[in-house]
Amino acid sequence: MKLILKRVVCIVLFFAAANVMLASGTNDGSKLWFTNFSLPADYNGHEFSSVVISEYSPTFEIIQNEFISSLNQLFTQNTKSNSKTSAGSICIGTLQNDFIANSIQPEILKNAGSDGFIIKYLADDDITIIAANTDNGCLYGTYHFLRLLCTNPQALNDLIVENPAYKRRILNHWDNLDGTVERGYAGRSIWLWDDLPEKLNPRIIDYARANASIGINGTVLNNVNASPAILKEEYLQKVKVVADVLRPYGIQVYLSVNFSSPKILGGLPDSDPLKPEVKDWWNNKVAEIYQLIPDFGGFVVKANSEGQPGPQDYGRTHADGANMLADALNPYKGIVMWRAFVYNPSGDDRAKQAYNEFKPLDGKFRNNVMIQVKNGPVDFQPREPISPLFGAMEHTTLIPELQITKEYLGFSDHWAYLGTLFQEFLQTDTYQKGRNTTVSRVTNGDVFNDSITGIAGVSNIGQDINWCGSHSAQANWYVFGRLAWNPDLPAKTIAEEWLEQTFSHNTTFIKEMGRVMMESREAVVNYMTPLGLHHLMGWSHHYGPEPWCEIPGARPDWLPTYYHKADSYGIGFNRSSTGSNAVEQYAEPLKTMFDDPQLCPEKFLLWFHHLPWDYTMSNGRELWDELCYKYSEGVTQAKRFRETWNSMEKFVDERQFKETSDKLDTQVKEAIWWRDACLLYFQTFSKREIPAELDEPVHQLDELKKLKFDLKHHN
Ligand code: BDP
């Protein structure tokens, strides 16, 4: 051992300046999940005194700096505690490192793939090895090691082999070039385009670190409703600066592009994807991008959707459009993420349209195209069944798109931990290829052996000091990264891990708040859209309840009445075989199950069925009563969350406490608003009483209908 250690190039000892913790009462959330970066009180593992790094690259420099500051901070604190420690070393590197090459069987490392890593404790030498096949793998191994030191140090005694499920784990920023963020509830865009390329927002480095710490390795910098200007030389120079900063953190940059760019920017008569001059324009543009950014990831395209241009403008298909871009990107190993979020106002059911348009194109896309599909068939609702496209396109790679920003779940004001939503989606069985062909397995290469795989999340990040508009919303960025890495990690484990790193090691705190987090999304479903209801939100802003909303001349599928269809008979959208027959798009047994109200899971009942107010639910209640119970339960849950949080004051920083407590007050107030608005409005159809044992509404329907929502307070 000693001989081998002598051969390594660099030994770093920890006596650098300590990374100072924030004084109490000042915790503004800027440090994200590094806020409570400390060892658990009962830590009795090693006191690491040295780390051995024998390779050099910008990524290894980051690794070295992480170790210097982190371990110094951890063990400076720890010496003050009463832990039993022994001086251990860490050796980190790839097979280029002799010690690693001699200590690790190459087959084990093979299982780690290109981004994964192994962590192995060698008891005889008292040395912990972090080994990977690439520099990026070493970086991810570093963050994993540090996370475990702070949250579950015992795990470091066992062999750890990690290999991410998805190859591309990508944030989608809906950031506009003017600095606004579409559906952003955390301030303006972090890119500060106007300052670039001369000046870089220093927070971009913190952003890169945060992403790398949870395994995110790609970012789409601009809105899917893309301005063609992003492809101007002037903007590409700016993008290059961002890409250069993100690169050592293992993060590739992607751009959303406007399909009409050849016409708008290049002055061509049109942007028909089959015309040679259009292809040439894209080929040249792509060459220009790779000249500046050699590891550029590729394009995201929203085409022929919500007014965006696309190949259908020229009578071409989505495949024609996607393939033309894919061919331009292919020589550089770039990819196209072509969105399937399409629906046109004349269809009988918006939920069916993506499937109808894309399923016939299965097998027609190039290998470097992924079809980007939202989790549900409509639009990021608090709850939706899975999109039927998952598993249905055997010869096409699908990249799931989740929404981290809570457009439909109370912005950054309501505490809704999305780990449970993401998990429910990823673990749903599509049955498309028999049992256990879950969404994660049909998209991560397990079932279809796709050569490229990925998962995308619409970012909730902005310039706010706490990044996400609230402390609680940070958990959704965190859980997206962790599940993109490993969709089988329980949402509860991730919630607890996040709580511990963000707030406190206290086990009561973690247990109680973990419970709140696990229930939080269901509470939002209950007080907004229970039993399969959906899209009852206010016109355009999508915040509060407006189930009554009518806008003369508006697209019907943008109005709540299109979705709830409440009338004197009952409520719900009939998507069964007697209605729009959307059920037909699912594989058996889902199809039969969704088609029959008796078999349909009640959480999706009104998604698939229009049922009478007196329909008997499985618990014996009538549908109207059950709806009242669900809305009331949502309010009770929100009140309970506030109560639990308020009893946790002693465990958290004063500022974190107060800011979160204020948000929970808002949430309770608005849960009541939701309950009252929906029940009073639906009552005008049901003509039934709210069960006497439940709280009466505190508002009047007329008063609620007059409320004008001021978005300014929520951005
Ligand atoms: C909807 C949003 C809209 C987005 C669109 C999309 O309301 O702002 O542009 O999705 O995903 O949810 O393209």
CA of 400 to the centre of ligand 1 (A): 15
What's residue 446's pLDDT?
96
Q: Which atom of ligand 1 is nearest to the CA of 305?
A: 13
Q: Which atom of ligand 1 is nearest to the CA of 225?
A: 9
In the annotation, is 522 catalytic? no
Q: What is the pLDDT of residues 87-127, one digit of tens each?
A: 789 999 999 999 999 999 889 999 999 999 999 999 998 99
CA of 605 to the centre of ligand 1 (A): 25
Q: How confident is the model at residue 406 (pLDDT cuts 50, 70, 90)?
A: very high
CA of 301 to the centre of ligand 1 (A): 13
Nearest residue (by CA) to ligand 1, atom 1, is 379
Of 158, 242, 147, residue with least CA distance to 198: 242
Q: Which atom of ligand 1 is nearest to the CA of 182?
A: 8
Q: HEC states along 529-542?
A: CHHHCCCCECCCCC
What's residue 71's pLDDT?
87
Report the pLDDT averaged over residues 494-498: 98
Q: How confident is the model at residue 709 (pLDDT cuts 50, 70, 90)?
A: confident
pLDDT of residue 82 exceeding 80: no
Q: How confident is the model at residue 715 (pLDDT cuts 50, 70, 90)?
A: low
CA of 455 to the centre of ligand 1 (A): 17
Q: How confident is the model at residue 26 (pLDDT cuts 50, 70, 90)?
A: confident
Nearest residue (by CA) to ligand 1, atom 10, is 379
* CATH code, 2-162: 3.30.379.10
CA of 512 to the centre of ligand 1 (A): 35
Q: Which residues line ligand 1 (CB under 6 A)?
A: 182-183, 224-225, 302, 306, 341, 379-380, 407
Q: Which atom of ligand 1 is nearest to the CA of 542?
A: 7
Instruction: Kindly name the residue from 55, 175, 379, 557 that is annotated as catalytic.
Output: 379
Q: How confident is the model at residue 346 (pLDDT cuts 50, 70, 90)?
A: confident
Q: What is the pLDDT of residues 199-258, one digit of tens each?
A: 999 999 999 999 999 999 999 999 999 999 999 999 999 999 999 999 999 999 999 999
CA of 81 to the centre of ligand 1 (A): 50
What's residue 3's pLDDT?
30
pLDDT of residue 544 exceeding 90: yes
Name residue 90's beta-bridge partners: 51, 128
pLDDT of residue 281 exceeding 90: yes
Q: Which atom of ligand 1 is nearest to the CA of 223?
A: 9
Amino acid at 397: T
pLDDT of residue 20 exceeding 50: no
DSSP state of 600: S
Q: Which atom of ligand 1 is nearest to the CA of 302?
A: 13
* Mean pLDDT computed over every residue of the chain: 94
Q: How far apart are the first and last CA of the chain?
A: 57
Instruction: Kindly name the residue from 42, 194, 306, 643 that is annotated as catalytic.
Output: 306
Q: How confident is the model at residue 22 (pLDDT cuts 50, 70, 90)?
A: low
Q: Which atom of ligand 1 is nearest to the CA of 183?
A: 8
Q: How confident is the model at residue 475 (pLDDT cuts 50, 70, 90)?
A: very high
**Residue 385 preceded by cis peptide, ω within 30:** no
Q: 168-502 belongs to which CATH class? A: alpha beta
In the annotation, is 233 catalytic? no
Mutate to test the pocket of ligand 1, among 176, 181, 182 (most ligand atoms within 8 A of CB): 182
Q: How much of the chain is helix, strand and coil, in % rounded to 5?
A: 45, 10, 45
pLDDT of residue 538 exceeding 70: yes
Domain ranges of the chain: 2-162, 168-502, 526-573+610-714
Pairwise CA distance, residues 472 & 414, whole Å: 9
Pairwise CA distance, residues 102 & 494, whole Å: 34
Nearest residue (by CA) to ligand 1, atom 9, is 225
Alpha-helical runs (H) found in 157-202: none
Q: Which atom of ligand 1 is nearest to the CA of 374?
A: 11
Mutate to test the pocket of ligand 1, among 173, 220, 379, 384 (most ligand atoms within 8 A of CB): 379
pLDDT of residue 371 exceeding 50: yes
Q: How confident is the model at residue 75 (pLDDT cuts 50, 70, 90)?
A: confident
Mutate to test the pocket of ligand 1, among 172, 185, 341 (most ligand atoms within 8 A of CB): 341
Polymer length of the chain = 715
* Number of CB atoms found within 10 A of residue 568's CB: 10
- CB burial of 195-207 (b: ≥16 within 10 Å; e: otherwise) equals ebbeebbebbebb
Name residue 335's beta-bridge partners: 298
Where is average pLDDT lowest: 346-355, 559-568, 577-586, 626-635?
346-355
Q: How confident is the model at residue 85 (pLDDT cuts 50, 70, 90)?
A: low
CA of 652 to the centre of ligand 1 (A): 36
Is the model more confident about 346 or about 693? 693
Long-range interactions of 625-628: CB distance < 8 A, separation 24+? 625/688, 625/691, 626/531, 627/530, 627/531, 627/571, 627/679, 627/682, 628/679, 628/690, 628/691, 628/694
What percent of the chain is modeled with pLDDT above 90? 90
CA of 462 to the centre of ligand 1 (A): 17
Nearest residue (by CA) to ligand 1, atom 12, is 379
Give the residue carrying structure tokens 């795989």: 453
Pairwise CA distance, residues 655 & 204, whole Å: 24
The most distant pair of C-alpha atoms in the chain lies apart, rounded to whole Å, by 85
Q: What is the pLDDT of residues 164-173, one digit of tens each?
A: 999 999 999 9
Nearest residue (by CA) to ligand 1, atom 11, is 341
Number of helices (H) and strands (E), helices first, in the chain? 22, 16
What's residue 66's pLDDT?
96
Q: How confident is the model at residue 656 (pLDDT cuts 50, 70, 90)?
A: very high
CA of 138 to the centre of ligand 1 (A): 36
Decide if 168-502 and 526-573+610-714 have a common fold. Answer: no
Helix (H, G, I), strand (E, B) or coil at 186: coil
Pairwise CA distance, residues 204 & 243, whole Å: 10
Instruction: Kindly name the residue from 55, 162, 407, 429 that is annotated as catalytic.
Output: 407
In the annotation, is 126 catalytic? no
What's residue 164's pLDDT?
98
CA of 375 to the centre of ligand 1 (A): 13
What's residue 76's pLDDT?
72
pLDDT of residue 152 exceeding 90: yes
pLDDT of residue 8 exceeding 70: no
Q: How confident is the model at residue 46 (pLDDT cuts 50, 70, 90)?
A: confident
Q: How confident is the model at residue 442 (pLDDT cuts 50, 70, 90)?
A: very high
Strands 397-403 and 454-458: parallel
Report the pLDDT averaged over residues 33-57: 92
Mutate to test the pocket of ligand 1, among 224, 306, 371, 563 (most ligand atoms within 8 A of CB): 306
Q: 526-573+610-714 belongs to which CATH class? A: alpha beta
